[in-house]
């Protein structure tokens, strides 16, 4: 037997080592919800929700209040039929996507414990390891240069740099960073901070200066699909949607309107079920894929490590939030600098 008999939510607070600043937002603490699913055979599955009000409009108290409702919705279901539980949880796609992700992952984790096969192998086991970038938040030019140098020297070959608050300063910062760390590859994320014209100017300047930019992420507002397309058609770099791409329906619209080269999937926006659909949509249309995170601890990053390795479809992995939090590691994966390896 492997039927769900209990579902519990627990609030977990994690402090960042230092304030993490992006366009229009600074995080000092991550308030996450640990989801525990108990089966009648005693197996326990764990998942984590790291809600984002900025991206998804989620608030922790509203999610915690759903505990009994979710328990009622999925109790009695057998996790071997996990897609049935996924379908039920799809009802939360618009209102509580990060909670949907945690419950869907906890379902897979409970199945994994029950049958003794790691989640990444249940999902296909395409890769045994993946490489992650590391993020440099917005700071003074000197501090960003110093942090980029140190992070690259630690062994992270891809640096994700946050920009979007001031075009002129951002250009100066990127020139200084890439001069100090010329061998890194750069994913540059503006978090919706630029207008389409500013984005085009920024990309043009990066191209002229020979910056090794591999992705230009979410340059414009999430709802400005035309702007995203304009930037895409007028810049040499691949354009990735993050805040614009939450559910599979968003990604369908982005792709059919020619707005993106890449999609940044985050389980916290899509859950496992929509993420699976987005992967197939992207493969079918030759759209590039990366996977990212919100403020997950290692238990939440664990979900994305198993998903990304299992599916094996991501060109870039941005799974570094656990490294920014003060926590006791509790994921089922090993980390060797930028290499993440799922385990059981
Ligand atoms: Mn982003």
Ligand 1 centre to CA of 62 (Å) is: 24
Q: Residue 1's pLDDT is what? A: 85
Ligand 1 centre to CA of 67 (Å) is: 29
Q: Residue 216's pLDDT is what? A: 98
Known catalytic membership, residue 266: yes
E-strand ranges in 40-151 read: 44-49, 130-131, 134-136
Ligand 1 centre to CA of 135 (Å) is: 10
CA distance 268 to 251: 15
Ligand 1 centre to CA of 229 (Å) is: 17
Q: Residue 183's pLDDT is what? A: 98
Which CA distances in Å does 2 have to 43, 45, 113, 298, 331?
8, 11, 10, 26, 23
Average pLDDT of each block of 10 consecutive residues along the chain (344 residues)?
Answer: 96 98 96 98 98 97 98 98 98 97 98 98 98 98 98 98 98 98 98 98 98 98 98 98 97 98 98 98 98 98 98 98 97 98 95
Cross-strand bridge partners of residue 7: 37
CA atoms within 13 A on the CB side of 235: 31
Q: Residue 201's pLDDT is what? A: 98
E-strand ranges in the chain read: 4-22, 25-39, 44-49, 130-131, 134-136, 158-162, 185-189, 213-217, 239-241, 262-265, 288-291, 316-317, 333-336, 339-342
Q: Residue 315's pLDDT is what? A: 98
Which pLDDT tens digit goes with each residue over 48-71?
999 999 999 999 999 999 999 999
Nearest to 232 by CA among 212, 249, 251, 254: 254
Selected catalytic residue, list 173, 229, 266, 332: 266
CA distance 175 to 163: 13
CA distance 166 to 23: 9
Selected catalytic residue, list 162, 229, 248, 269: 162
Residues across the chain: 344
CA distance 259 to 251: 10
Ligand 1 centre to CA of 73 (Å) is: 32
Q: Which domains does the chain have, with CATH numbers?
A: 4-116 (3.30.390.10), 122-340 (3.20.20.120)
Ligand 1 centre to CA of 291 (Å) is: 10
Which pLDDT tens digit goes with each residue over 93-143?
999 999 999 999 999 999 999 999 999 999 999 999 999 999 999 999 999
The two structure tokens encoding residue 67:
């505990």
Ligand 1 centre to CA of 91 (Å) is: 25
Q: Residue 207's pLDDT is what? A: 98
Asked if residue 56 lies in contact with residue 43, where contact means CB atoms within 8 angstroms, the answer is: no
Q: Residue 18's pLDDT is what? A: 97
Known catalytic membership, residue 162: yes
Cα dihedral 321, 118, 105, 126 sign: positive
Ligand 1 centre to CA of 240 (Å) is: 9
Q: Residue 174's pLDDT is what? A: 98
Asked if residue 288 lies in contact with residue 263, where contact means CB atoms within 8 angstroms, the answer is: yes
């Amino acid at each position: 037997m492997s039927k769900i008999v209990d579902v519990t939510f627990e609030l977990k607070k994690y402090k960042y080592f230092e304030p993490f600043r992006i366009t229009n937002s600074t995080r000092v603490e991550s308030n996450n919800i640990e989801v525990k699913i108990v089966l009648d055979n005693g197996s326990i599955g764990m998942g984590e929700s790291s809600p984002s009000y900025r991206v998804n409009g989620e608030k922790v108290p509203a999610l915690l209040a759903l505990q009994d409702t979710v328990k009622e919705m999925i109790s009695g279901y057998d996790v071997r039929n996990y897609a049935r539980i996924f379908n039920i949880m799809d009802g939360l796609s618009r209102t509580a996507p990060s909670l949907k992700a945690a419950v869907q992952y906890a379902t897979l984790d409970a199945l994994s414990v029950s049958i003794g096969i790691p989640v990444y192998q249940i999902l296909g086991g395409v890769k045994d390891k993946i490489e992650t970038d590391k993020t440099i938040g917005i700071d003074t030019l000197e501090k960003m240069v110093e942090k980029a140098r140190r992070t690259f020297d630690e062994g992270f070959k891809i640096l994700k740099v946050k920009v979007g608050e001031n075009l002129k300063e951002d250009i100066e910062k990127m020139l200084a960073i890439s001069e100090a760390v010329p061998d890194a590859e750069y994913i540059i994320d503006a978090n919706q901070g630029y207008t389409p014209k500013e984005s085009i100017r920024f990309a043009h300047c990066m191209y002229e200066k020979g910056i090794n930019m591999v992705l230009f992420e979410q340059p414009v507002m999430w709802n400005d699909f035309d702007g995203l397309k304009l930037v895409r058609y007028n810049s040499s770099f691949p354009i990735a949607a993050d805040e614009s791409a939450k559910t599979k329906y968003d990604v369908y619209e982005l792709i059919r309107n020619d707005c993106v080269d890449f999609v940044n999937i985050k389980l916290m926006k899509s859950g496992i079920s929509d993420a699976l659909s987005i992967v197939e949509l992207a493969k079918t249309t030759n759209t590039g894929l990366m996977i990212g995170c919100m403020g997950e601890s290692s238990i939440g990053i664990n979900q994305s490590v198993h998903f990304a390795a299992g599916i094996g479809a991501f060109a870039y992995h941005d799974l570094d939030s656990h490294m920014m939090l003060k926590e006791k590691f509790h994921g089922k994966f090993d980390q060797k600098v930028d290499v993440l390896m799922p385990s059981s």
